[in-house]
Amino acid sequence: MKDDSHSDALIIGCGLFGAFTALFLARRGLRVTVLERGAVGAQASATNFGNIRLHGRSAGQYPLSLRAQELWEEYAGLTGEDCEIELTGHLYFARTEEGCETLRREAETAAQFGVVSDVLQGPALRERFPFLAPDIPLAAFSPRSAVANPRLATVPVARAVERAGGRVIENCEVTGIRATPDGFEAETGDGRRFSAPRLINAAGAWAGRIAGWFGEPVPMFSAGPPQFVTEPLPHRLLPSVHMVEGDVIVRQVSRGNVIFSGYPRTHSQAAGDLTYVPPTKTLRGMDALARCIPMLARAEVIRVWSGVEGYLPDMLPVIGPSTTTPSLFHAFGGSGGGFQIAPAVGEALARAITEERLPDMLRGYGIDRFTADAAVSAKIVREFDKRG
C-alpha cells in the first residue's frame, strides 16, 4: 500500500522560497510534500511591496537576481496563471549627497552585470519624470524592472506544484523533526507524521527555530516595513519609485491606488505572528511621500499593514546545504529582498539537491557564515527602528 506520508523531499514552509523549490523539484521528478503552518503565501510572500527590481542589489546577488528576473518573465508559463506582473520599470532616486554617491555606485555595479539604467539629472530628469519634487538631484531608471501583486504570487506556484504531482498541506504546523536512518521525520501539531530522505527548511521568519534543532543557530529576527495604500487616484505614476535613502518606496496600480512602503522597519511582536504599524509611521510615510512626489500630498490612506519577515545581520538570505546534517537544506531569511529572487532560489536549490552540487550563484549564502561573528550590514543601522 502506498504511504502518503512519505515523499522524496519534505519542505517546511510554503512561502515563495518553499513553493518555487517544490515546483522545480517536482519538475525534476521528485515526489514533494510541502507543510505550511498557516495559509499558502500568507506571511512575508504576500505582505511585501511586490517589487521585482534589479537596482540596489549587492554585486554577489546579481547572477541570482538576473536569473530570477527571467523566471518572473516566464511566470505565466511556469504556473499557468497570472499575478498581475507589470513591466513598469524602476526609478531609483536620491535626495542627499551621500544618496547620490550610493546611486551612482549601485548603477555602475548593475551595469557590470548588463543591467541597463538611464542615469538622469537636471532638466533631463524634470522632463522625463515631472512628478518628482524639483529639488531631487539625481535618479536612475531601469526599464526591465517590474512589479507584481504579492497577494496573488504564491498560490499559483503551489497549484502548479500539485499539478506536477506534489502535495501542499496548509494549516499543518511542524512541532518537531528528527533525523532517522532513512532521512527525516516531521511531526505536526495534530499528530501526523511525514517522512522523506531530504528536508528543506523554508519556514520564513520561523526557520531559525528549525535550524537550531539541527545545531545551526542563526542571529535572525522578525520585522516588517510600514506599508499603506491610498484611495484610487488618476493614474500618473507609471514606474515603481524607490528613494535610495529608503524613506519612500511607492508604486501606483492600474486601479489608481498608490501603494507605499518605507523605513524604518518595525520589529515584530514577541509571539512573531504580527508586526504592528504605529500611526506615527504612517504619518511620517505620508510626509516623506509628499516631499518627494508633491501631487500625492492630499492622498487619503485607506489601509495600513506590515509583514513578518526574517532578517539576518548582513541582509542576505541563507540558501544551501546544512553544515551539520546531510540531506538538510535551508532557504530562508530574505531580509526584505527575497520576493524578487525567489524563483531563482527555488530553481538553484532544486539543482543543488538533485545534482548534489552547489550552483555558483548560491555561493556566499551558506549558513556557516554565522559560525563566527557575522558582518552587520549598514542597512540594518539605517533601516530599522531601534525602539521596536
pLDDT tens-digit map of 32-85: 999 999 999 999 999 999 999 998 898 999 999 999 999 999 999 999 999 999
- Residue 363: pLDDT over 90: yes
Q: Domain count of the chain?
A: 2
Query: Same domain for 371 and 241?
Result: no
Spatial separation of the C-alpha atoms in residues 339 and 361, rounded to whole Å: 17
Residue 73 domain-assigned?
no
247 pLDDT tier (thresholds 50, 70, 90): confident
Share the mean pLDDT of the chain: 94
In the chain, % of residues over pLDDT 90: 90
Query: Same domain for 133 and 236?
Result: yes
Query: Same domain for 240 and 302?
Result: yes
Residue 67 domain-assigned?
no
Tell me, what's the pLDDT at 95? 95
Positive or negative, the CA dihedral 347, 352, 353, 354 is positive
214: cell is 539541527
Tell me, what's the pLDDT at 1? 33
Does the pTM surpass 0.85? The reply is yes
Residue 53 domain-assigned?
no
Query: Same domain for 125 and 33?
Result: no
**370 against 15, higher pLDDT:** 15
Residue 191 domain-assigned?
yes
Residue 27 domain-assigned?
yes
Query: Same domain for 302 and 156?
Result: no
Spatial separation of the C-alpha atoms in residues 190 and 254, rounded to whole Å: 43
Residue ending a domain, among 284, 306, 328, is 306
In the chain, % of residues over pLDDT 70: 95
Residue ending a domain, among 306, 322, 352, is 306
Query: Same domain for 159 and 129?
Result: no
270 pLDDT tier (thresholds 50, 70, 90): confident
The answer to whether residues 49 and 228 touch, using CB atoms and an 8 Å cutoff, is: no
- Residue 387: pLDDT over 70: no
Residue ending a domain, among 306, 337, 358, is 306
Residue 305, sorted as left (phi over 0), alpha (psi -120 to 50) or beta, turns out to be: beta
Residue 184 domain-assigned?
yes
Query: Same domain for 300 and 241?
Result: yes
Query: Same domain for 197 and 232?
Result: no
Tell me, what's the pLDDT at 327? 98
Beta strand pairing call for 146-147 and 51-52: antiparallel
**Which CATH number belongs to the domain containing residue 115 in this structure?**
3.30.9.10
Residue 81 domain-assigned?
no
Grid cell 540596489 in the structure block, residue: 56
Query: Same domain for 302 and 317?
Result: no
**Which CATH number belongs to the domain containing residue 170 in this structure?**
3.50.50.60
- Residue 16: pLDDT over 80: yes
Residue 304 contacts by C-beta under 8 Å, 6 or more apart in sequence?
226, 227, 228, 277, 282
Residue 2 domain-assigned?
no
Query: Same domain for 236 and 286?
Result: yes
Mean pLDDT for the stretch of residues 225-238:
96
Spatial separation of the C-alpha atoms in residues 187 and 176, rounded to whole Å: 5
366 pLDDT tier (thresholds 50, 70, 90): very high
Mean pLDDT for the stretch of residues 364-376:
79
Tell me, what's the pLDDT at 388? 46
Query: Same domain for 132 and 157?
Result: no
- Residue 372: pLDDT over 60: no
**325 against 1, higher pLDDT:** 325
Q: What is the extent of the structural domain holding 257?
A: 90-143+226-306
Per-residue 3-state assignment (H helix, E strand, C coil) for the chain: CCCCCECCEEEECCCHHHHHHHHHHHHCCCCEEEECCCCCCCCHHHHCCCEECCCCCCHHHHHHHHHHHHHHHCHHHHHCCCCCCECCCEEEEECCHHHHHHHHHHHHHHHHCCCCCEEEEHHHHHHHCCCCCCCCCEEEEECCCEECCHHHHHHHHHHHHHHCCCEEECCCCEEEEEEECCEEEEEECCCCEEEECCEEECCHHHHHHHHHHCCCCCCCEEEECCEEEEEECCCCCCCEEEECCCCCEEEECCCCEEEEECCCEEECCCCCCCCCCCHHHHHHHHHHHHHHCHHHCCCCEEEEECCCEEECCCCCCEEEECCCCCCEEEEECCCCCHHHHHHHHHHHHHHHHHHCCCCHHHCCCCHHHHCCCCCCCHHHHHHECCCC
20 pLDDT tier (thresholds 50, 70, 90): very high
Query: Same domain for 120 and 243?
Result: yes
